Amino acid sequence: MTFADHQLDPRLDLKLERIVDVPRELVWKAWTTPEHLMKWFTPAPWTTVECDIDLRPGGVFRTVICSPEGERHPLAGCYLDIVDNERIVWTDALGPGFRPSNQPNDCIESFFTAIIGLAPHGDGTKYTVVVLHGDEESRRRHEERGFTDGWGTALDQLVACIKDGRISG
Amino acid sequence: MTFADHQLDPRLDLKLERIVDVPRELVWKAWTTPEHLMKWFTPAPWTTVECDIDLRPGGVFRTVICSPEGERHPLAGCYLDIVDNERIVWTDALGPGFRPSNQPNDCIESFFTAIIGLAPHGDGTKYTVVVLHGDEESRRRHEERGFTDGWGTALDQLVACIKDGRISG
Protein backbone atom coordinates (compact mmCIF):
# COMPACT_ATOMS: atom_id res chain seq x y z
CA MET A 1 0.00 0.00 0.00
CA THR A 2 1.55 3.30 -0.94
CA PHE A 3 0.15 6.05 1.20
CA ALA A 4 2.44 8.66 -0.28
CA ASP A 5 -0.18 9.03 -2.98
CA HIS A 6 -3.23 8.54 -0.75
CA GLN A 7 -6.10 10.27 -2.53
CA LEU A 8 -7.67 12.52 0.07
CA ASP A 9 -11.44 12.19 0.40
CA PRO A 10 -12.48 15.56 1.90
CA ARG A 11 -15.80 14.11 3.10
CA LEU A 12 -14.07 11.47 5.23
CA ASP A 13 -10.45 12.49 5.76
CA LEU A 14 -8.68 15.19 7.75
CA LYS A 15 -5.19 16.36 6.86
CA LEU A 16 -2.46 18.42 8.49
CA GLU A 17 0.70 19.17 6.49
CA ARG A 18 3.59 21.29 7.70
CA ILE A 19 7.26 21.84 7.05
CA VAL A 20 9.29 21.68 10.26
CA ASP A 21 12.98 22.57 10.57
CA VAL A 22 14.08 19.46 12.43
CA PRO A 23 15.54 16.26 10.96
CA ARG A 24 13.06 13.53 10.17
CA GLU A 25 15.12 10.86 11.97
CA LEU A 26 14.40 12.72 15.20
CA VAL A 27 10.72 13.15 14.36
CA TRP A 28 10.66 9.40 13.80
CA LYS A 29 12.31 8.82 17.16
CA ALA A 30 9.77 11.12 18.82
CA TRP A 31 6.91 9.02 17.40
CA THR A 32 8.36 5.56 18.06
CA THR A 33 9.91 5.69 21.54
CA PRO A 34 7.49 5.76 24.50
CA GLU A 35 9.88 7.78 26.65
CA HIS A 36 10.06 10.49 23.96
CA LEU A 37 6.45 10.35 22.78
CA MET A 38 5.22 11.11 26.28
CA LYS A 39 7.05 14.47 26.17
CA TRP A 40 4.99 16.00 23.36
CA PHE A 41 2.00 13.83 22.31
CA THR A 42 -0.74 15.69 24.21
CA PRO A 43 -1.29 19.46 24.08
CA ALA A 44 -0.47 21.02 27.48
CA PRO A 45 -1.77 21.29 30.14
CA TRP A 46 -2.86 17.69 29.44
CA THR A 47 -0.05 15.14 29.68
CA THR A 48 0.61 11.66 28.34
CA VAL A 49 1.04 9.46 31.40
CA GLU A 50 1.30 6.00 29.82
CA CYS A 51 2.54 4.74 26.46
CA ASP A 52 3.13 1.27 25.00
CA ILE A 53 4.68 0.83 21.57
CA ASP A 54 5.31 -2.47 19.77
CA LEU A 55 6.38 -1.15 16.38
CA ARG A 56 5.20 -3.80 13.91
CA PRO A 57 1.93 -4.56 12.12
CA GLY A 58 -0.47 -5.90 14.74
CA GLY A 59 1.67 -4.52 17.57
CA VAL A 60 0.14 -2.38 20.29
CA PHE A 61 0.05 1.41 20.27
CA ARG A 62 -1.52 2.54 23.52
CA THR A 63 -1.53 5.86 25.34
CA VAL A 64 -3.29 7.32 28.35
CA ILE A 65 -3.64 11.09 28.44
CA CYS A 66 -4.54 12.97 31.59
CA SER A 67 -5.96 16.40 32.41
CA PRO A 68 -4.51 18.57 35.20
CA GLU A 69 -7.55 17.50 37.27
CA GLY A 70 -6.71 13.82 36.75
CA GLU A 71 -9.30 12.98 34.05
CA ARG A 72 -7.84 10.08 32.09
CA HIS A 73 -8.50 9.11 28.46
CA PRO A 74 -7.04 5.84 27.19
CA LEU A 75 -6.46 5.32 23.47
CA ALA A 76 -5.60 1.78 22.38
CA GLY A 77 -4.97 0.43 18.93
CA CYS A 78 -2.43 -1.32 16.78
CA TYR A 79 -0.01 -0.52 14.02
CA LEU A 80 -0.89 -1.48 10.45
CA ASP A 81 2.07 -0.37 8.37
CA ILE A 82 5.55 0.78 9.33
CA VAL A 83 8.28 2.14 7.03
CA ASP A 84 11.29 3.38 9.01
CA ASN A 85 11.69 7.17 8.99
CA GLU A 86 8.90 7.46 6.44
CA ARG A 87 5.49 6.24 7.47
CA ILE A 88 3.48 5.02 10.47
CA VAL A 89 -0.08 3.79 10.03
CA TRP A 90 -2.15 2.82 13.04
CA THR A 91 -5.82 2.44 13.93
CA ASP A 92 -7.94 2.23 17.04
CA ALA A 93 -10.51 0.05 15.23
CA LEU A 94 -8.25 -2.93 15.96
CA GLY A 95 -6.37 -3.73 19.14
CA PRO A 96 -3.14 -5.72 19.57
CA GLY A 97 -3.00 -8.81 17.34
CA PHE A 98 -5.53 -7.15 14.98
CA ARG A 99 -8.47 -7.98 17.29
CA PRO A 100 -11.52 -5.78 16.53
CA SER A 101 -12.10 -3.18 19.21
CA ASN A 102 -15.49 -3.03 20.88
CA GLN A 103 -15.07 0.47 22.24
CA PRO A 104 -14.75 3.56 20.04
CA ASN A 105 -12.37 6.10 21.56
CA ASP A 106 -14.08 8.54 23.86
CA CYS A 107 -12.61 11.68 22.28
CA ILE A 108 -14.46 11.40 18.98
CA GLU A 109 -16.85 8.47 19.69
CA SER A 110 -15.81 6.60 16.57
CA PHE A 111 -12.82 4.81 15.15
CA PHE A 112 -10.09 6.30 13.00
CA THR A 113 -6.94 5.32 11.14
CA ALA A 114 -3.99 7.72 11.21
CA ILE A 115 -1.24 7.92 8.61
CA ILE A 116 1.88 9.84 9.66
CA GLY A 117 4.12 10.63 6.70
CA LEU A 118 7.66 12.01 6.94
CA ALA A 119 9.71 13.20 3.97
CA PRO A 120 13.03 15.07 3.81
CA HIS A 121 12.65 18.78 2.99
CA GLY A 122 15.98 20.58 2.80
CA ASP A 123 17.47 20.24 6.29
CA GLY A 124 14.00 19.75 7.69
CA THR A 125 10.98 17.52 7.33
CA LYS A 126 7.68 17.58 5.50
CA TYR A 127 5.27 16.28 8.13
CA THR A 128 1.88 15.00 7.03
CA VAL A 129 -0.94 13.55 9.09
CA VAL A 130 -3.98 12.08 7.35
CA VAL A 131 -6.79 10.70 9.49
CA LEU A 132 -9.38 8.40 7.88
CA HIS A 133 -12.91 8.06 9.24
CA GLY A 134 -15.73 5.66 8.42
CA ASP A 135 -18.36 8.31 7.77
CA GLU A 136 -18.82 12.07 7.40
CA GLU A 137 -20.28 12.50 10.88
CA SER A 138 -17.11 11.07 12.48
CA ARG A 139 -14.89 13.31 10.36
CA ARG A 140 -16.99 16.34 11.30
CA ARG A 141 -16.88 15.50 15.02
CA HIS A 142 -13.09 15.08 14.92
CA GLU A 143 -12.78 18.43 13.14
CA GLU A 144 -15.06 20.22 15.62
CA ARG A 145 -13.25 18.74 18.59
CA GLY A 146 -10.01 20.31 17.50
CA PHE A 147 -8.16 18.05 15.07
CA THR A 148 -6.08 20.85 13.52
CA ASP A 149 -5.32 22.69 16.78
CA GLY A 150 -4.70 19.48 18.69
CA TRP A 151 -2.39 17.78 16.22
CA GLY A 152 -0.74 21.13 15.36
CA THR A 153 -0.01 21.98 18.99
CA ALA A 154 1.35 18.48 19.60
CA LEU A 155 3.66 18.96 16.61
CA ASP A 156 4.85 22.32 18.00
CA GLN A 157 5.69 20.53 21.25
CA LEU A 158 7.50 17.76 19.36
CA VAL A 159 9.62 20.30 17.47
CA ALA A 160 10.38 22.22 20.68
CA CYS A 161 11.56 18.97 22.35
CA ILE A 162 14.01 18.36 19.50
CA LYS A 163 15.25 21.96 19.48
CA ASP A 164 15.91 22.13 23.21
CA GLY A 165 17.62 18.73 23.18
CA ARG A 166 15.03 16.73 25.14
CA ILE A 167 14.81 14.47 22.08
CA SER A 168 18.21 13.99 20.48
CA GLY A 169 20.06 11.64 18.13
CA MET B 1 3.41 -10.54 14.13
CA THR B 2 3.65 -14.30 14.31
CA PHE B 3 0.23 -15.85 14.27
CA ALA B 4 1.63 -19.37 14.19
CA ASP B 5 1.73 -19.10 17.96
CA HIS B 6 -1.44 -17.07 18.42
CA GLN B 7 -2.64 -17.77 21.95
CA LEU B 8 -6.28 -18.70 21.60
CA ASP B 9 -8.64 -16.83 23.91
CA PRO B 10 -11.66 -19.15 24.17
CA ARG B 11 -13.90 -16.30 25.38
CA LEU B 12 -13.26 -14.27 22.23
CA ASP B 13 -11.89 -16.57 19.52
CA LEU B 14 -13.30 -19.36 17.38
CA LYS B 15 -11.06 -21.98 15.81
CA LEU B 16 -11.39 -24.65 13.14
CA GLU B 17 -8.43 -26.94 12.49
CA ARG B 18 -8.40 -29.82 10.02
CA ILE B 19 -5.97 -31.90 8.02
CA VAL B 20 -6.94 -32.03 4.34
CA ASP B 21 -5.30 -34.27 1.73
CA VAL B 22 -4.67 -31.62 -0.89
CA PRO B 23 -1.48 -29.57 -1.41
CA ARG B 24 -1.30 -26.26 0.36
CA GLU B 25 -0.23 -24.40 -2.79
CA LEU B 26 -3.67 -25.20 -4.24
CA VAL B 27 -5.45 -24.24 -1.02
CA TRP B 28 -3.56 -20.95 -1.23
CA LYS B 29 -4.68 -20.51 -4.84
CA ALA B 30 -8.28 -21.25 -3.84
CA TRP B 31 -8.14 -18.46 -1.26
CA THR B 32 -6.34 -15.83 -3.31
CA THR B 33 -7.85 -15.97 -6.82
CA PRO B 34 -11.39 -14.52 -7.20
CA GLU B 35 -12.25 -16.94 -10.00
CA HIS B 36 -11.39 -19.91 -7.76
CA LEU B 37 -12.67 -18.52 -4.46
CA MET B 38 -16.14 -18.06 -5.95
CA LYS B 39 -16.35 -21.85 -6.52
CA TRP B 40 -16.23 -22.89 -2.86
CA PHE B 41 -16.42 -19.92 -0.44
CA THR B 42 -20.13 -20.14 0.45
CA PRO B 43 -21.91 -23.33 1.59
CA ALA B 44 -24.38 -24.45 -1.11
CA PRO B 45 -27.12 -23.71 -2.02
CA TRP B 46 -25.82 -20.15 -1.42
CA THR B 47 -23.27 -18.96 -3.96
CA THR B 48 -20.55 -16.35 -4.10
CA VAL B 49 -21.50 -14.01 -6.93
CA GLU B 50 -18.86 -11.28 -6.61
CA CYS B 51 -15.28 -11.26 -5.34
CA ASP B 52 -12.51 -8.63 -5.34
CA ILE B 53 -9.03 -9.47 -4.08
CA ASP B 54 -6.07 -7.10 -3.82
CA LEU B 55 -3.63 -9.30 -1.96
CA ARG B 56 -1.56 -6.87 0.12
CA PRO B 57 -1.95 -5.19 3.50
CA GLY B 58 -4.67 -2.56 3.08
CA GLY B 59 -5.89 -4.17 -0.14
CA VAL B 60 -9.56 -4.98 -0.62
CA PHE B 61 -11.14 -8.34 0.14
CA ARG B 62 -14.79 -8.14 -0.84
CA THR B 63 -17.40 -10.79 -1.54
CA VAL B 64 -21.13 -10.86 -2.18
CA ILE B 65 -22.94 -14.10 -1.33
CA CYS B 66 -26.40 -14.86 -2.59
CA SER B 67 -29.23 -17.22 -1.58
CA PRO B 68 -31.16 -19.27 -4.14
CA GLU B 69 -33.97 -16.70 -3.70
CA GLY B 70 -31.63 -13.84 -4.55
CA GLU B 71 -30.97 -12.51 -1.02
CA ARG B 72 -27.56 -10.84 -1.16
CA HIS B 73 -25.05 -10.32 1.68
CA PRO B 74 -21.97 -8.23 0.98
CA LEU B 75 -18.83 -8.62 3.10
CA ALA B 76 -16.13 -6.01 2.63
CA GLY B 77 -12.82 -5.67 4.35
CA CYS B 78 -9.10 -5.51 3.81
CA TYR B 79 -6.07 -7.70 4.22
CA LEU B 80 -3.75 -7.09 7.17
CA ASP B 81 -0.98 -9.66 6.77
CA ILE B 82 -0.03 -11.95 3.89
CA VAL B 83 2.64 -14.66 3.86
CA ASP B 84 2.56 -16.64 0.61
CA ASN B 85 1.28 -20.21 1.02
CA GLU B 86 1.27 -19.80 4.78
CA ARG B 87 -1.01 -17.12 6.21
CA ILE B 88 -3.78 -14.70 5.28
CA VAL B 89 -5.11 -12.23 7.83
CA TRP B 90 -8.03 -9.99 6.99
CA THR B 91 -10.68 -7.99 8.84
CA ASP B 92 -14.02 -6.40 8.06
CA ALA B 93 -13.43 -3.74 10.74
CA LEU B 94 -11.37 -1.85 8.14
CA GLY B 95 -12.10 -1.32 4.46
CA PRO B 96 -9.66 -0.79 1.60
CA GLY B 97 -6.80 1.54 2.50
CA PHE B 98 -7.35 0.67 6.19
CA ARG B 99 -10.36 3.02 6.48
CA PRO B 100 -12.55 2.14 9.50
CA SER B 101 -15.80 0.51 8.47
CA ASN B 102 -19.04 2.07 9.67
CA GLN B 103 -21.16 -1.02 9.03
CA PRO B 104 -20.70 -4.30 10.90
CA ASN B 105 -21.36 -7.28 8.63
CA ASP B 106 -24.99 -8.37 8.64
CA CYS B 107 -24.28 -12.06 9.28
CA ILE B 108 -22.98 -11.64 12.84
CA GLU B 109 -23.70 -7.92 13.47
CA SER B 110 -20.18 -7.22 14.60
CA PHE B 111 -16.67 -7.07 13.22
CA PHE B 112 -14.17 -9.90 13.10
CA THR B 113 -10.59 -10.62 12.06
CA ALA B 114 -9.85 -13.96 10.39
CA ILE B 115 -6.49 -15.71 10.35
CA ILE B 116 -6.12 -18.51 7.81
CA GLY B 117 -3.06 -20.66 8.48
CA LEU B 118 -1.68 -23.28 6.09
CA ALA B 119 1.12 -25.70 6.98
CA PRO B 120 2.46 -28.74 5.14
CA HIS B 121 1.28 -32.05 6.61
CA GLY B 122 2.67 -35.08 4.75
CA ASP B 123 1.31 -34.75 1.22
CA GLY B 124 -1.57 -32.66 2.55
CA THR B 125 -2.19 -29.50 4.51
CA LYS B 126 -2.93 -28.54 8.07
CA TYR B 127 -5.66 -25.93 7.67
CA THR B 128 -6.41 -23.60 10.56
CA VAL B 129 -8.93 -20.78 10.82
CA VAL B 130 -8.95 -18.55 13.88
CA VAL B 131 -11.54 -15.78 14.07
CA LEU B 132 -11.05 -12.96 16.58
CA HIS B 133 -13.97 -10.99 18.00
CA GLY B 134 -14.11 -7.82 20.09
CA ASP B 135 -16.31 -9.25 22.84
CA GLU B 136 -17.85 -12.49 24.08
CA GLU B 137 -21.30 -11.68 22.73
CA SER B 138 -19.93 -11.42 19.17
CA ARG B 139 -18.05 -14.70 19.51
CA ARG B 140 -21.18 -16.40 20.84
CA ARG B 141 -23.35 -15.04 18.01
CA HIS B 142 -20.85 -16.20 15.38
CA GLU B 143 -20.79 -19.65 17.02
CA GLU B 144 -24.60 -19.90 17.17
CA ARG B 145 -24.97 -18.79 13.57
CA GLY B 146 -22.92 -21.71 12.39
CA PHE B 147 -19.22 -20.85 12.40
CA THR B 148 -18.04 -24.47 12.54
CA ASP B 149 -20.58 -25.86 10.06
CA GLY B 150 -20.23 -22.92 7.70
CA TRP B 151 -16.46 -22.76 7.55
CA GLY B 152 -16.23 -26.58 7.61
CA THR B 153 -18.65 -27.01 4.70
CA ALA B 154 -16.84 -24.31 2.72
CA LEU B 155 -13.57 -26.19 3.31
CA ASP B 156 -15.18 -29.45 2.10
CA GLN B 157 -16.21 -27.61 -1.07
CA LEU B 158 -12.69 -26.19 -1.49
CA VAL B 159 -11.16 -29.66 -1.17
CA ALA B 160 -13.70 -31.13 -3.63
CA CYS B 161 -12.82 -28.40 -6.18
CA ILE B 162 -9.15 -29.34 -5.98
CA LYS B 163 -9.83 -33.08 -6.19
CA ASP B 164 -12.09 -32.85 -9.23
CA GLY B 165 -9.67 -30.50 -11.01
CA ARG B 166 -11.76 -27.31 -10.93
CA ILE B 167 -8.87 -25.74 -9.02
CA SER B 168 -5.54 -26.97 -10.32
CA GLY B 169 -1.85 -26.01 -10.40
**Per-residue model confidence as pLDDT tens digits over A73-102:** 999 999 999 999 999 999 999 999 999 998
At residue B5, the pLDDT reads 54
The torsion angles phi and psi of A122, rounded to 5 degrees, stand at 60, -130
Q: Which residue has the higher pLDDT, A124 or B2?
A: A124
Model confidence at B106: pLDDT above 80? no
Position B113 pLDDT exceeds 90: yes
Contacting residues of A for B111, CB less than 8 Å apart = 93, 100
- Partner residue facing B56 (CB), from A1, A99, A101: A1
DSSP type of residue B119 = E
User: Could you give phi then psi for residue A31, rounded to 5 degrees?
Assistant: -85, -20
User: For the residues B134-143, what does the mean pLDDT come to?
Assistant: 94
- Are A133 and B99 in contact (CB < 8 Å)? yes
pLDDT at B44 over 60: yes
pLDDT at position B104: 82
Across all residues in chain B, what is the average pLDDT? 94
Prediction ipTM score: 0.93
Taking alpha carbons only, the member of B96, B100, B56 closest to residue A77 is: B100
Question: What pTM was estimated for this model as a whole?
Answer: 0.94
Name which of B110, B152, B116, B114 is nearest B135 in CA terms.
Answer: B110
> Residue A10: pLDDT above 90?
yes
The span from the CA of B1 to the CA of A16, in Å, is: 30
Distances (CA, A) of B30 to B25, B57, B98, B169: 9, 19, 24, 10
DSSP single-letter state for residue A101: P
Q: Hey, are the CB atoms on B59 and A1 less than 8 Å from each other?
A: yes
Burial string for A52-76 (b: 16+ CB within 10 Å, else e) reads: ebeeebbbbbbbbbbeeeeeeeebb
A4 pLDDT above the threshold of 70: no
Q: Are the CB atoms for B1 and B132 separated by under 8 Å?
A: no
For chain A, give the mean pLDDT: 94
Rounded to 5 degrees, what are φ and ψ at A141?
Answer: -60, -45
User: Which bin fits B57, alpha (ψ -120 to 50), beta or left (φ > 0)?
Assistant: beta
Measured distance CA(A82)–CA(A117) in Å, rounded: 10
Q: What is the mean pLDDT of residues A102-130?
A: 92
| Distance from C-alpha of A54 to C-alpha of A56, rounded to nearest angstrom | 6
Which of helix, strand or coil describes residue B19?
strand
Is B116's pLDDT higher than 70? yes
Best of A94, A133, A140, A142 to disrupt the B interface (most B CBs within 10 Å) is A94
pLDDT at residue B1 tops 50: no
Q: What is the CA radius of gyration of chain B?
A: 15
- Written as one string, the DSSP assignment of A104-143 is --TTTSS-EEEEEEEEEETTEEEEEEEEEESSHHHHHHHH
For residue A138, the chain B residues in CB contact (below 8 A) are 100, 102
Q: Which of A5, A99, A108 to mutate to test the interface with B (most CBs of B within 10 A)?
A: A99
Sign, Cα dihedral of B105, B106, B107, B110: positive
**Number of neighbouring beta carbons within 10 Å of residue A38:** 17
Query: What's the pLDDT at A1?
Result: 44
Q: How much is the average pLDDT of B117-141?
A: 96
Residue-wise pLDDT for A41-64, tens only, equals 999 999 999 999 999 999 999 999
How far is it, in rounded angstroms, from Cα B15 to Cα B12? Answer: 10
**What is the nearest CA distance from A138 to chain B, expressed in angstroms?**
10
Backbone torsions φ then ψ of A25, nearest 5 degrees: -60, -30
Q: What is the DSSP string of A63-99?
A: EEEE-TT--EEEEEEEEEEEETTTEEEEESSB-GGGP
